[in-house]
Chain A
Amino acid sequence: MSAVPNTPRRANAQESFTPAATPQTSRVASSHIVQSSPHYQTTRRHSLYGTEDRIILDPGSCIWKVGFSGEGKPRDVFYAGGDSGESLWTLNRASKPAEREEEDRILEAKLQACLRSVFHNSLLTDPKSRKVILVEHPLLPLHIKEIMARILFNNLQVPSISFASSHLLALLAAGRVTGLVLDCGHLESTVLPIFSFRPLYPHLRTTPLAGARLSNHIKALLLMFGTYIPPATSLSATMNIPAASRSIRVPQDVLTEKVIDEIKTRICFVGDPIDTDGSGAAQHAMSPGPSEADLPPSDPALSESEFSRVSADVSIDSSNFAPSSGYSVVSHSQLPGMDHAPGESRVQALATMYGRHSTATDIHLRVDPPPAQQTGTGRGTLIVPGWIRERAAEVLFEGGDVDESSVAEVILDTLLKVPVDLRKTLASTILVVGGTPMLPGFIPRLQAELTRAVSRTSNSSSSSAAPSRAGRPRPRPAAYDKYAALRPLLPYFAILNNPAPPPPGNATAAANAGKAPAFTPSMMAWVGGSLAGALKTGGVEVQREKWDEAEAQPDSDDDVPMAHDSSPARSARSSPAKSILPDWTRTPLPTGAPPAPRPPAAAAYIPSAQEQMVMG
């Protein structure tokens, strides 16, 4: 067993490229280092890449994008959780300290593998001479940020890390400095208003309706409505058994993450809302009573969504249709192990309805048979009904739940929160980024949903009148017109990167809708990061010296007990993050709680960051 030096990192820091930066250097000194950086640029490996290019890391929970600043596209994109496509972290964390610690250890090991591979395999560059811009999602948990910083500084020894808000960077890539940015990623959809470069964090709104939820939903739908044809049982059998007679329900094992991902990214799209005004009116005329009566009673926000229409269709088909609507059915079907018995007729009805409205073709997909049934005779066939391809994404547009607003509602909720004088500007500069909006048709559909959500209560009088007509025992309370305040904004709604903008409502919308450059939604944040790097700006920069310095300090000033770490070594290592890493959630605190020397430091700190941007 080796006698490892007690503070190996300290030694490393001295030996690396900035000999001036001893751990004893004060903050002022470290800002001098920034000024002296041209010096080391000329001395250190000048030929290789030109060291002023920074590395832009956009680490998602699922997919990472990495590359160099100043380039229009990333060098590499990969699944961080391995080829199986599972995400590195989820929205949940273990509650028990021991489990949580274990979870963190696994996460750290995986992140370390990813980060090392980024430098050594994707970018083929020396991390010690590369500044890093970390594209940071505003809701990225602090402990994950901390782990990443620790790996980058200690294991890879990068000279500095800048943290930049992903939403702001995405907006930059659209050429704007003001806008309402919806990031619809894997775990969450998050809306952040930005005014004149300033993210208005207190108005941030989020919903778990995002890529992961869509995957679950596709899986649930396929388990119920998909068809699976297993491969032939043996090669020699002269079978010619018609496929129809061999087809069975989809075994759960067939629907691996990979298969679901392939379905989601290759063959799914988002159809138009089913009830356009004209046809909706026609259906109203056909079945006025039940269509209104089947509205879920407790969800005023749901009101006119297509599920009333769903229910209308359904109640024609099957008279014993329970009144609690397709909405809840679809929600239930999100659970993979759902019970088929009670909800089946309703879901079936929903499927019938979607199927009738969908002209999308069924797709035959070749899939690996479940491991238990490997016969060595090739792959099975999974038949994905066309309506699932078209309607799976409905789950993202179903609102009404207080905790899980639809992606349209989450935008409107944010608009309700922002100062009144900003609403008009923000409503006309909506930007949609993230991986999920890569679904063809997503953005136009979102636009339609926004319009509908705002204008839907226009006929709320009739819908609130309906229950009494239908003689429901429980009268519905008068619908709360949540978005009434936004209705005047209706002509202003414009999505910057809408590929097929509707006829604009007015000049403002016309000047904005579809005017963003044609970068893909998923890549906007990365491109913005590259842009920020090329412009020599890019957010709070944390130097390694400062990190080392903070790490060397005893954790006496660590008066905020975070996740309790058991080993003293670990808690000592996690302490610098609290004082050094930027964290917007702590900024608004008036007395600058955690690190004691905050107020004097803050004054010196911000300008030094600005200066870094100038100096690069």
Chain B
Amino acid sequence: MAPKIEYYCPCLAESPYPPPPHLASSSYSFHALHNLFFCEECDAVRCNRCVLVEVSGYYCPNCLFEVPSASVRAEKNRCARNCFLCPNCRNTLTVVPSDPPEDVDSRMSPIVSTTLGEPPFFLYCNHCRWDSAEVDITFEKPTGLAAQLQKFEDSAPESLEFERLKEHFEPFLRASSSSTALPSASSHHVHTNPITAAASSALARDIPGVGKYNPLSRSRIGRDKAAHRQEYPDYKSRVEVGHAAALSGEVDVELLRHLETVGEVASLEQRWSNSWVTPLRASDLKPLRIPLQSKKSKRCPSCRHILIKPEQKAQSTRFKIKLVAANYLPAIAVTLPHAQAALEMMKRSSAKSVSAAAAAEEQQTAGALIAGHSYSFHLAFTNPLYDPIQIRLAKAVVPAHMTEDAEAAERARRSTFQIQLPSAAFPVGAFAEAWEYDDEDEDMFLDEDGVELLDARGKKGKDGRGKSRSVGIVDKRANVTIVSGEVLIPKEARGDVKFNMLVSYTYRSDDPEPSEEVEVGTPSRSHGTNKAPEMKNFSFYTVVDLGSIMYREEPKLTADL
């Protein structure tokens, strides 16, 4: 697995600290940069789990028709035009006319033009060759199919039965609502109809036995019972389950008993949204109207400012407002040089002769982190801002109240590895459109901020074989700076090498804002090399996942590159 980095979104949590990365639940708090938004008002990262979502328009994903919101309800969130899904394979269906009457020798007949279709029309699936004529659905004209089907839907047994049930129960509620008009009724004693009282209070509050919690209503209970006997007529079903099951019921058991292939029976997903007893057979499935989709605008959950606002038109893929975090935060890419080198080696040497599966496995082992070794890793920071920034890295501090005994023990057990990050701030060049077209070489002299490569290769990582590793800047070009860190894995370490990293960066602010909104616990301001008065600071947490530790008796040679 390639090493990866994800960004933390606090999602309005009280604690600004990210959850410890070894907890499985922490994965829900970290997101890839491209999934995050940025609220300028709050100066904070927002994610898809916390933003408020509003519908800004409905459209059919098939015909791209924009459906006015007023008719969405009536159409049950489905396309009311000609768009249908195959019930069998969920492909979109096309409307085709019937074949012309077949000639005796039709295969040999000259090409006839069938652009002028003849009714009846039917829906046809190009993928699995299902057609609606199989379930006796045909159309007189090839347009407005949904409307032609509407009458079937309106007379669906479940909606008729539902209306009947509603009528059955409604009188009691109507009686009760008229009683609310009684002048004597205080807001606490509106229900003079005992049945309704029982109904609503039972739905409202649960009663042990037949008794009631409130002693006042004791007497009511007695009346309820009597009332039930007297007033409450039994409901007569429109279609009783016994009748409906004449189609299924015993027949279903027989069908299943003599089943030949699974395909004869519709799958659960194909029938689970039916509330009415329907035959099990796959051949009875009806075409599905395509569900509508919505264009969503997103708001900051805290200040309600709009973060995302799409253009109204369904065909358009652009946004009127698009505050994505990738435009504000430096993008970070993490690599393990030793794994890459191993990969290169492998590509060159054993391009052939090894089967694909074996090669994949080998790649995995070559890039592995083996217990008892130390590895360097590279973090490449890409600056999206038009001004150079200064970045400082720090390992996340674990807040005091989170280190309980159990958790601390857990942590101690898991995170036995040691991480070294460059301690000094380092610069990342400004973004310019030109960079996108630049060759890789012509970079250094364009360095705008004049900050030189830090010679702070201060920390020399200790290494078993006496080779020195640097912790510091490895490369700097255009708006990308690569720094190197080091991880030392003791022999007994297990699990994943995964740690939280605090990234703080200082940038030049265009419009000075009140200072209270910046910096939560970032000491780097005092340390920044370029301390102009308009400089501002932003910090965010990330989780770096370098992969899992492999345990090996004798470490593989290629891994030690």
In chain A, positions 24-83 with a C-beta closer than 8 Å to chain B are: 31, 47-50, 53, 63, 65, 70-77
**A323 neighbours in B (Cβ, 8 Å):** none
**A536 neighbours in B (Cβ, 8 Å):** 173
B149 at the A/B interface (Cβ < 8 Å)?
Answer: no
**Cα–Cα, bound, A262→B228 (Å):** 44
Contact of A359 among B176, B257, B262, B357 (CB under 8 A): B257
Instruction: Digitize A580-605: 1 where CB-to-B-CB distance is under 8 Å, 0 elsewhere.
Output: 00101001100000000000001110
**Cα–Cα, bound, A254→B540 (Å):** 44
Contact between chains at B248 and A539 (CB < 8 Å) = no
With most chain B CB atoms within 10 A of its CB, the pick from A268, A374, A522 is A522
Nearest B residue to A592 via CB reads: B213
**A367: shortest Cβ distance to chain B, in Å?**
11
B24 at the A/B interface (Cβ < 8 Å)?
Answer: yes
Contact of A518 among B76, B157, B407 (CB under 8 A): B157
In chain A, positions 82-115 with a C-beta closer than 8 Å to chain B are: 96-98, 102, 105-106, 109, 112-113
**Cα–Cα, bound, A434→B371 (Å):** 51
In chain A, positions 157-209 with a C-beta closer than 8 Å to chain B are: 157, 164-165, 168, 172-178, 195-202
**B154: shortest Cβ distance to chain A, in Å?**
11
Contact of A197 among B70, B198, B296, B406 (CB under 8 A): B198
Contact of A12 among B203, B225, B301 (CB under 8 A): B301
Contact between chains at B267 and A123 (CB < 8 Å) = no
Nearest B residue to A616 via CB reads: B177
**A266 neighbours in B (Cβ, 8 Å):** 262, 265-268
**A305: shortest Cβ distance to chain B, in Å?**
21
Name the interface size band of chain B. 35 or more
Contact between chains at A511 and B234 (CB < 8 Å) = yes
**A74 neighbours in B (Cβ, 8 Å):** 273, 275
**Cα–Cα, bound, A75→B272 (Å):** 11
**A77 neighbours in B (Cβ, 8 Å):** 272-273
Contact of B235 among A98, A176, A419, A607 (CB under 8 A): A176
**B440: shortest Cβ distance to chain A, in Å?**
34
In chain A, positions 504-550 with a C-beta closer than 8 Å to chain B are: 511, 513-520, 522-523, 526-527, 530-532, 534-540
In chain A, positions 560-616 with a C-beta closer than 8 Å to chain B are: 566-569, 582, 584, 587-588, 602-604, 606-611, 613-614
Contact between chains at A76 and B203 (CB < 8 Å) = no
**Interface 9-residue window, one of B38-46, B96-104, B107-115, B418-426:** B38-46
**B232 neighbours in A (Cβ, 8 Å):** 177, 196
A497 at the A/B interface (Cβ < 8 Å)?
Answer: yes
Contact between chains at A125 and B225 (CB < 8 Å) = no
Contact of A360 among B39, B157, B195, B256 (CB under 8 A): B256
**Cα–Cα, bound, A97→B168 (Å):** 50
Contact of B539 among A1, A105, A168, A499 (CB under 8 A): A1
- Interface residues of chain A, those whose CB is within 8 Å of chain B, are 1-6, 8-9, 11-12, 15, 31, 47-50, 53, 63, 65, 70-77, 96-98, 102, 105-106, 109, 112-113, 116, 119-120, 123-126, 128, 155, 157, 164-165, 168, 172-178, 195-202, 261-262, 265-271, 359-361, 363-365, 374, 386, 389-390, 419, 440-441, 444, 496-501, 511, 513-520, 522-523, 526-527, 530-532, 534-540, 566-569, 582, 584, 587-588, 602-604, 606-611, 613-614
- Interface residues of chain B, those whose CB is within 8 Å of chain A, are 10, 12-16, 19, 23-25, 28, 39, 42-45, 49-50, 52-55, 58, 69-70, 72-73, 76-77, 156-159, 161-162, 164-166, 168-170, 173, 176-177, 180, 187-191, 195-210, 213-214, 216, 224-225, 228, 232, 234-245, 248-250, 252-253, 255-262, 265-268, 272-278, 280, 292-294, 296, 301-302, 304, 357, 401-402, 404, 406-407, 410, 516-517, 519-522, 538-541
